[in-house]
Amino acid sequence: MMSILGRDESIRYVALGDSLSEGVGDDAPDRPNGVRGWTDRVAEQFMLADPQALYANLAIRGRLLVPIIEEQLEPALELKPNLVSLIGGGNDSLRPGFDVDALIQHYDAAFKTLRDENIEVFTMTGFDPGPKGFLSGNRARVALFNELLREVAEDRGVAIVDYWRMRELRDLRYWAPDRLHMNPAGHTLVARRALETLSAENIRIGDPVVPESMPQTRAQEALANAKWAREFVVPWIGRRLRGTSSGDNIAPKYPEWTRFDALPEEG
């Protein structure tokens, strides 16, 4: 594990990535792009522990790994951070031409660039969609990607938050209505796991508030699935066919160092 809090200098944390790191699904109308997310929650804990801690978030939804690196890495380096999270590849794994070896090479080069600047880095494995469901056919791809990612991360001294093994997230109550992004409960769970991976002490983030389960008949479940497919799957497929992205015309949430004016004690 990586020990971050308690170091001699204040944390200057930059998040790089796609919708997962931007915080999509964790709605917050008062924040840029209308989302909060696990990275904001981690940064809040750093700020609660140290009034001088700083945070930037360059992640943009829909981005593939190469654009993440090409668009976000250099601006991140210009900020002179001492902690960076670099997480991507989920969108790549859904593409027909997915090249896992090329993807890992890009990851490795980016890790080297960051580590050569004496920056602490952490990343995250891909999510296990399980044996059934919308993305179950992608499971083998993600498993291979994770194994290769673990290898280069270990070689470069990069910490890994193990998203793959968060079995709680098999529960749909941790997910937003689109079933592709986590809701506040899911982002809270991931924030806690990230802080544990970083060996952060005195964590004041609360336990996830999981919505109550509402039993459904088979007919109700079928109607819910049809509504979900109509509202989310069909538009998602449409964007793929048109070559567009949900992140088109979206700017980074926090492109410069920021501190939050009001810090929640937990949650």
In this structure, the answer to whether residues 41 and 159 fall within a common structural domain is yes
In this structure, the answer to whether residues 134 and 84 fall within a common structural domain is yes
The verdict on residue 99 lying in a domain is yes
C-alpha 157/C-alpha 18 separation (Å) is 22
Q: Got the DSSP string for 58-76? A: ---TT--HHHHHHHHHHHH
Q: Higher-confidence residue: 5 or 58?
A: 58
The verdict on residue 142 lying in a domain is yes
The verdict on residue 237 lying in a domain is yes
C-alpha 206/C-alpha 265 separation (Å) is 8
The pLDDT score that the predictor gives to residue 7 is 59
The verdict on residue 1 lying in a domain is no
- Final residue of a structural domain among 194, 211, 228: 211
What region, left, alpha or beta, does residue 37 occupy, with left being phi > 0 and alpha being psi -120 to 50 degrees? left
In this structure, the answer to whether residues 183 and 222 fall within a common structural domain is no
In this structure, the answer to whether residues 53 and 81 fall within a common structural domain is yes
The verdict on residue 119 lying in a domain is yes
In this structure, the answer to whether residues 191 and 219 fall within a common structural domain is no
pLDDT tens for each residue of 195-248:
999 988 777 888 888 877 767 787 766 776 677 667 766 666 666 666 666 767
The verdict on residue 6 lying in a domain is no
C-alpha 117/C-alpha 6 separation (Å) is 20
Give the C-alpha distances (Å, rounded to integers) separating 121 from 14, 50, 159.
10, 20, 6
Query: Under 8 Å CB-to-CB from 116, ≥6 apart: which residues?
Result: none
Question: What's the CATH code of the domain at 71?
Answer: 3.40.50.1110
In this structure, the answer to whether residues 204 and 87 fall within a common structural domain is yes
Is residue 162 over pLDDT 70?
Answer: yes
The DSSP element (H or E) to which 55 belongs, if any, is strand 54-57
Domain with 19 in it: 12-211
Number of domains observed in the structure of the chain: 2
The verdict on residue 261 lying in a domain is no
Q: What percent of the chain has pLDDT over 90?
A: 65
In this structure, the answer to whether residues 228 and 175 fall within a common structural domain is no
pLDDT tens for each residue of 111-157:
999 999 999 999 999 999 888 777 788 899 999 999 999 999 999 99
In this structure, the answer to whether residues 23 and 107 fall within a common structural domain is yes
In this structure, the answer to whether residues 219 and 206 fall within a common structural domain is no
In this structure, the answer to whether residues 144 and 26 fall within a common structural domain is yes
Q: Which residue is associated with the tokens 């296990």?
A: 128
In this structure, the answer to whether residues 131 and 227 fall within a common structural domain is no
- Asked if 251 and 35 count as a contact pair (C-beta separation under 8 A), the reply is no
The verdict on residue 7 lying in a domain is no
In this structure, the answer to whether residues 205 and 237 fall within a common structural domain is no
- Final residue of a structural domain among 184, 211, 238: 211
Q: pTM for the complete prediction?
A: 0.89
The pLDDT score that the predictor gives to residue 3 is 54
